[in-house]
A and B are shown apart, each in its own frame.
Chain A
Amino acid sequence: MIWVDAVVQGLLLGGLYALFACGLSLMFGVMRIVNLAHGDFAVLAAYLAYSAATATALGTLGATLLVVPLFAVFGYFVQRGLIQRALATGPLATLLATFGLSVIIENALQQGYSADTKALNPGSLVSASLRVGSDISVSWLALITFALAVVVLSALQLFLRRTRTGRMLRAAADDPGAAALAGADTRHIYGIAAGLAFGTVALAGLMFAMRSSFDPTIGPTQLLFAFEAVVIGGLGSLWGTLAGGMVLGLAQDLGGQWNPAYALLAGHVVFLAVLAFRPQGLFPARRIA
């Protein structure tokens, strides 16, 4: 029964990874760039929420409702102010600039908040759990995170399929030049894509921060998990990313069940195996979104 429990926990953990990954996938799909500071922005959001929740009467829920939209707006301006300029400079520049941002954020957080671990208190949710049978208990927090991931992915999917802005996003992803000719303001559209990515990664960062304690250095690890979820699932497929996240979470939890030191290694090995034997991913899509 321990193993069944590990399977359930691992699959639910996949929801969190999918939440981390969908912004990464969106930015790569639309702008063909990987934001190497993706994980660090999640940590930054967690620290902002921590400050908001401890310094004011907002509480964790209020801080979440404040920080996530704030980050979406922030993402729009990071894209317009910095990443867009890097895109114009050349293909290397976006990687170098976002990697520089990653180091800056991590060290600035270290200076501002010290290297001590912090935790975001989700209130009564942390202890409450749902009992299934005699041996399996699922925390409400994990369930809510997974449900949030499904809701966010569905909303993104609907947005890309059904709305005018979503269509323009897909057009800019296919061919920015042609989209611009057809009247789309690609810079604005890129800003919107980055805003969505930052909003979702902030949400992911906060859900992570409620689940376990965090410190300024965990950003890169979250970036790697998100990246692995995208590659395992198959590039360009949002639901594939959810499945990829679940495979990754499952591998980590089963590896950890075998020996706690193997948890991360097991996830990485599954990723490398997919890369070696099925580089198109387990659930590839023919096109973005």
Chain B
Amino acid sequence: MTADEAVTAAPAAPAAPPPTVSRGGRAALWSGVGSAAAIAVFAYLPFMLYTGTTQTLVTFFTLVAMASMWNLLAGYAGLVSVGQQAYVGLGAYAVLQFSDWGVQPFVGVALAAVACAVIAVPTSLLAFRLRGDYFAVGTWVIAEVYHLAIAQDNSLGAGSGEALTTLSGFSPVMREAITYWVGLAVAAASIAACYLLLRGRLGLALTAVRDDETAAHAAGVAVTRAKRAAYLVAAAGCGAAGGMLLVSQLNVAPDSIFSVQWTAYMIFITVIGGIGTIEGPVLGAAVFTVIQQLFSSSGVWYLILLGAMAVAAAVWLPRGLWGLVRSRTSLSLFPVGYTVRGLTNGRGS
């Protein structure tokens, strides 16, 4: 139900005050203030913490960025991709290539995002020929093609990979602090991009497509263009995250950077946290990081545990942990939908 319909559908009782349509309102203001405060606190942390902790947080930021992008694809555009590792890998290799051409790697992270969005244009032409479940496997094949092609490139270290050496000018402390801040910026930009995009025309188009693709198409929504826009943004975000992986780990090998495990992480985080909400991937990434830290000493059991949690969440708790929070508190930190208040019998959404 759109906001307009909700308003006209309200019964014309003369005594009742007219219903109001709002988007977030005070809660959104507070969450804006809260986000700014959280970013400020996070930004100050490198002055207080040991490097082990900041490295964990850099990983956390990277996961937040990746999962937010996968959530934009699957949760809003209805595109379940199992091939986002393509852009993680291409992003990392783009930073490496730009660095060989003399671009400062931290600047390279931003350029990697742009490069991935550009590569995503022709890729989407192929991938969008497949729909639904077949799109999922098709993107996986395409990621393998990029993986195998990069592994053939001798100038990028071929199969054994290459190290990023152009950051050696920094002292280790300074390098880690800047890496941390760039990571924070990538995560914050990913969340902000999702929020702003979904509040705008694209969000409205994607919501219409999600609810009924045929009806949206009939109503004049450019369905494919909306989906492609989401796909390009997700490619850019995953590219920046891949670039972050390179500048924090300082080396890259095709088998690990193009591994489907990155998409597995994105999926687990989003599904556990809550697919189709902006808050979900952030919450999920926090849960993921805690479980990974707790169980990382006992081999791959944490992956089995997270996989089981994701299967259970997908089947029995499709709105994830954030869905639980929201159903209890109706809290929405990043409201992208409209709320209708003051209806005598209806309920807004």
Whether A90 lies near B311 (C-beta < 8 A) is no
In terms of DSSP, what is the predominant structure of the interface of chain A?
helix
**Beyond A34-B133, A34-B137, is A99–B275 a contact (Cβ under 8 Å)?**
no
CA gap between A136 and B236 in the complex, in Å = 50
B60 interface residue (CB < 8 Å to A): no
Task: Say which residue of B138, B148, B149, B315 sits within 8 Å of A89 (CB atoms).
Answer: B315
Residue of A nearest to B130 (CB): A275
Instruction: Give chain A residues whose Cβ lies under 8 Å from the Cβ of B145.
Output: 265, 268-269, 272
**In whole Å, how far is B338's beta carbon from the nearest beta carbon of chain A?**
23
CA gap between A28 and B130 in the complex, in Å = 14
Residue of A nearest to B137 (CB): A227
Instruction: Give chain A residues whose Cβ lies under 8 Å from the Cβ of B152.
Output: 261, 265
A69 interface residue (CB < 8 Å to B): no
Q: Which of A97, A101, A223 has the most CB of B within 10 A?
A: A97
**Beyond A93-B314, A265-B148, A275-B129, is A99–B264 a contact (Cβ under 8 Å)?**
yes
**Beyond A231-B134, A268-B144, is A103–B264 a contact (Cβ under 8 Å)?**
yes
Say which size band chain B's interface belongs to: 35 or more
CA gap between A258 and B119 in the complex, in Å = 28
Whether B314 lies near A100 (C-beta < 8 A) is yes
A66 interface residue (CB < 8 Å to B): no
Instruction: Give chain B residues whose Cβ lies under 8 Å from the Cβ of A28.
Output: 133-134
CA gap between A86 and B310 in the complex, in Å = 12
B271 interface residue (CB < 8 Å to A): yes
Whether B310 lies near A264 (C-beta < 8 A) is no
**In whole Å, how far is B78's beta carbon from the nearest beta carbon of chain A?**
8
**In whole Å, how far is B98's beta carbon from the nearest beta carbon of chain A?**
25
**Beyond A265-B145, A276-B126, is A107–B303 a contact (Cβ under 8 Å)?**
yes
**Beyond A104-B304, A111-B301, is A271–B133 a contact (Cβ under 8 Å)?**
no
A224 interface residue (CB < 8 Å to B): yes
**Beyond A89-B314, A99-B267, is A272–B80 a contact (Cβ under 8 Å)?**
no
CA gap between A84 and B282 in the complex, in Å = 30
In A65-90, the 8 Å CB interface with B consists of 82, 85-86, 89-90
Whether A99 lies near B82 (C-beta < 8 A) is yes
Given A90-B318, A100-B267, A227-B141; 19 other pairs, CB 8 A cutoff: A33-B133, A89-B318, A96-B311, A99-B264, A100-B307, A100-B314, A101-B311, A103-B307, A104-B308, A104-B311, A111-B300, A111-B304, A220-B260, A231-B130, A231-B134, A265-B148, A269-B145, A271-B141, A275-B138
A binding-site residues for B, Cβ under 8 Å: 28, 32-34, 36, 82, 85-86, 89-97, 99-101, 103-104, 107-108, 110-111, 220, 223-224, 227-228, 231, 261, 264-265, 268-269, 271-272, 275-276, 279
27 residue pairs from A and B, CB less than 8 Å apart: A32-B133, A36-B136, A92-B74, A92-B275, A92-B318, A95-B133, A96-B267, A96-B314, A97-B315, A99-B267, A100-B268, A100-B307, A100-B314, A101-B311, A103-B264, A103-B306, A107-B300, A224-B141, A224-B144, A227-B141, A228-B141, A231-B134, A265-B148, A268-B144, A269-B145, A271-B141, A275-B129
Instruction: Pick the 10 closest A-B CB pairs, nearest first.
Output: A96-B314, A34-B133, A100-B311, A104-B307, A103-B307, A107-B300, A100-B310, A227-B137, A100-B307, A265-B148
